Amino acid sequence: MVALCVFDAYGTLFDVDAAARDSAVPRDVWPRLAADWRRKQLEYSWLRTVAGAHVDFWQVTQDALDWALEASGLSEAGLRAEMLDLYRRLAPYPEVPDVLRDLRARGVRLAILSNGSCAMLADAVAAAGLDGQFDAVLSVDAVGAFKPAPAVYDMVGQHFGCAPRDALFVSANGWDICSGAAYGFRTLWLNRAGAPMDRLHGAPDAVARDLMDLPQFLETL
């Protein structure tokens, strides 16, 4: 059994739609705004890495929100600050706390590997009540580039002293899981949205809709 499980954070452990859903954004507007915010957040991370113009993920998150708010025609006083505050304390998906406790009880080492800044991840883990669940929380702050740059995936082996095949990488982002698979990780894609498989340079070992089957899947590796 693989004894190290590495999780992406946003969209995998933490519900990235919650900041828009729980804010004062009108009910008929928040789904589009949440989708725009997430799309621009990822686009800006990729473009900044290609351009060698790195800033931390908190700046990327703010820039993406500004674009999404303008696209939705929203400029109400205090809305931007409210949404950013909510993003710092996103709720975990419902099954996450119990599954992490189960894995730790089985002796599996757990880690986060995320585009999030160190401060963002510390806030998210604490707000979700997940303090003490992870052996490492690895941020791209350490390498100055965003996923899927190989230097990000390298951090797992550097920290744990293991080969890629000794780790199971779990992500809800199709592009991330394909890149992790091509890098050499064992991979589980949490296809929470029921999206088509990305046509990229790798493919996951398995696909699930949530984390509930993860402990059993680990035993097959």
The set of catalytic residues is: 8
The amino acid at 32:
R
Task: Give CA 117 to chain center in angstroms.
Answer: 12
